[in-house]
Structure 1
């Protein structure tokens, strides 16, 4: 017979510090947010997009400081930089220099760098607030349709179909063209910004509404919702305490994917001349003005790059968030 194994000594006595560490260690649970953050940190492309998004937001917030420190006033004419014969910037590269890193505009000589920085806050403001409006309406309608079902779901579903079939661009052009310069206690560009936020946000909510409806249809059949019903919880408690917290991840993900779409839509309206009133700089408005000067590629390049980089950064960050919260979608 073999002698009984003595586990009281050898292993633990050889490493008393290991025994102390094992006895004092507490296993810490990880929340869904922390797990998603760990996944997101490993996605270098998404992190690069997120850093770019943060940089663009900071540029928009501090645009007056940046313009006054580095650039020139966005509405300042620099006629001395314009050739009076051709009305184009002097020099071989559209007036690009250390003083004007992106060059100047033809005819008037306004600094392109300052106008791009000054236009960032308008594009991002409209994109964020229009997305917020779409998320609020879409979440309310989607949760209501998915949770109650039946005739409520049918009515909201038909409303979504009507909005999705609506010619939004044509309606936006028509509505923005007939609105006067004063109304609703606002005037000028403040009224234009509010109008664009309403048009873009109010008519885009069905996209996120359908996603939230589908998620709600799945969540309402889960065990924790059945448990809340069996304990006598009311509909409001179930929606706000059980369902909505589990919808925050998809809402956040699809909001980051909707922001660049709204930024592009605002740029398109400004490009068509029904956005922000000139001479206030916007990226779409600058592209619209640059069309007339096809021999000056720098005038088109830099505003186009600003839109491209912004949309790409938000899309990369949104894709990374989606993979982080739900890796099965890869």
Structure 2
């Protein structure tokens, strides 16, 4: 008696499945397309569009979006509500203490970044060691940092001179200061992708149980990830000083909602496991250009909050759809 064994051959993906896989991989493309359309609209509304100045104003939007993306990427319900106040705090560290003391920029800038890292580490330890919900932990840190800012900078303090003024005017080697500042987190992420950490971060975000079972120190990865968010927030502090030469504690939360909306618009998975720096930049461009278009069109600033809320809801729904699409394509 003879028996035959049939081997199941892998079936080729359908066009629909290929499209799903492409969308899941290039999740930031929708944000790029929308940002490009809004750029055209802004160029039409503003014939004298000053690229250098606009890029410098855009830099804090892009940086807060990138900084806000680290906590969600690592999963565990991660979200960091302290990023905007940390940007103000780190700018205060420079304006209130370091610049008046005449500290060399090559020492002052690392100290500013270190201040952001320390806050990020504390956030990470509260989340991982005390098992506090990230949204509660970082909301508490938000209040603490705002209180510190109000204490050290109760009124707007202006730098009248210094290297940040020259940097804002001349850039670096002829490159706009806005481009240089936005490029720093991008380069940081590119370095992380060259080593196993970025892949491990996303793995923990997508399946922390499997990562832990494979020997990954999940808590350590999460603490380092929150520290990276704080580091990029420190870059945002430098961006704020470069943009205005001022620290004002009353504006500590001004970038909170735009940063979260831009992060979500950029396709960052709010449940973890997917992300990078391209999406948040394009998401921030949407927020920035939409704000500019509405202002030029004569809309009241109060409507921006309504737009932010609507965009955030839509972006979260889009992120969920992307996650479902990614699982269906895999």
With the shorter chain as reference, the TM-score category is 0.3 to 0.5
Query: Which of 1 and 2 has greater Rg?
Result: 1
Q: What TM-score do you get using the length of structure 1 for normalisation?
A: 0.35
Q: With CA pairs under 8 Å and 6+ residues apart, which has the higher RCO, 1 or 2?
A: 2
